[in-house]
Amino acid sequence: MRIMLVISNLLIPVTFALILLHGFLKKTNVYENFIEGAKDGLSVVVNILPTIIGLMVAVGILRASGALTLLAGLLAPAAKLIGFPEDVIPLVFMRLVSSSASTGLLLDIFKTYGPDSFVGRLTSVMMSCTETVFYTMSVYFMSVNITKTRYTLSGALLANFAGVAASVWITGYVFGR
Amino acid sequence: MLNYLWCAMILAGIFVAAFTGRMPDVTNAALDSSKEAVTVCLAMLGLVSMWTGLMKVAEKSGLITGMSRRLAPLLRFLFPGLPAKSKALHYIATNLIANALGLGWAATPAGLKAMEELQRLNPRKDTASAPMCMFMIINMSSLQIVTVSVLAYRAQYGSANPSEIIGPGLAATIITTIVGVVYARLREGRNTGGGRCGK
């Protein structure tokens, strides 16, 4: 399983090298294009700033009030049964509904446990293989007026829960618990 | 959706705090969290801009279009019901590539275009066709190569090696996509009468 860590270390430098080489060989102005694109990044972050503020405040209040601990405590027996860290359960469900709210929970987990803990790594992996199913489905299907979505929801949920299970297994396997 | 969710989160927090006697903590949390959100976004700014800059280079050199074109054989396998010349395939390819590269904001417009094209080929306008289900399930199984924002958050919270999760994340995302594709294939096989395209 060392291969996964090798990929982790190589992916960004290799992506850089390939894209720059391709751009250079195609005789485009690589540097100017980079600067132009980096400017787009500015608006991307500025656009999500208000959402992040709103959701981090909400999660912060939930955490400080003890409500999250209470919820985790309620879910603990079920979580123990399947060997899943109970503090991650709220994130699993929130992830299906809202990307920004789940980001709030993710940051809360990083703050509480640290990103290099088992829970921190597990949630990092989970965030890269799950999606806001309900939000995405309503946007896409509503745009073409489809009301009968047949097996889309069950398929998306199945894939997402497979992702959660895979994340637990892979994180434990690669980094240890 | 977020309207209810956001209110419920804050009101639940305040309600619970009233019973646990943690009102002062809630006040502090509200003040600190808003400040922290700004710090997190500032930290994200560098990495996200670097990524969008790099992707602009790939876009301008034609690399992204080239990659979408190379996806054609795979798409023919995933969407056998669609005519090979269909514009939908082009939009689906763009959407999948943009998603894979973590360009969510570029993926959505192409994805909506793809749905529009699929809808034109759809015999039953209120019911999702098999290619639509396949496309949506792949889209939501989140085939992402690098989740740039997660890397930025990890760095911000002091990870010794923020990028160590790229490989495991990639493995997990491949698993979810395979599960989604297999499931969609099995279901569309059983329901051949239900709104299949191109017939």
Instruction: Write out pLDDT tens, residues A3-51.
Output: 888 989 898 899 999 999 999 999 999 999 999 999 988 888 888 889 8
Radius of gyration of chain A (CA): 20
What are the structure tokens assigned to B103, written together? 């360009």
Q: Chain B within 8 Å of A2 (Cβ-Cβ)?
A: no
Q: How far is A83 from chain B (nearest CA, A)?
A: 18
Q: Across the interface, do B41 and A49 touch by the CB < 8 Å criterion?
A: yes
Other C-beta atoms lying within 10 Å of the C-beta of residue B77: 10
Instruction: Pick the closest to residue A159 from B144, B180, B143, B134 (CA basis).
Output: B180
Instruction: Round to whole Å and give the CA distance between B141 and A129.
Output: 7
| Bridge partners, residue A148, by sequence | B127
The nearest alpha carbon in chain A to B27 belongs to A61
Alpha carbon A92 to its chain centroid, in Å, reads 10
pLDDT by position in tens, chain B (length 199):
678 888 999 999 999 999 999 999 999 999 999 998 999 888 889 888 998 899 999 989 999 888 888 888 899 999 998 988 888 998 999 899 988 887 776 788 889 999 999 999 999 999 999 999 999 999 999 788 888 889 999 999 999 999 999 999 999 999 999 999 999 999 987 654 444 444 3
| Residue B127 three-state SS | strand
* Alpha helix (H) residue ranges in chain A: 2-25, 30-65, 67-82, 89-97, 99-113, 118-129, 133-143, 152-175
Q: Chain B within 8 Å of A114 (Cβ-Cβ)?
A: yes
Contact A116, A154 (CB under 8 A): no
ipTM: 0.88
Q: Across the interface, do A41 and B45 touch by the CB < 8 Å criterion?
A: yes
Facing residue for A60 by CB, picked from B33, B156, B168: B33
DSSP states of A162-174? HHHHHHHHHHHHH
Q: Chain A within 8 Å of B189 (Cβ-Cβ)?
A: no
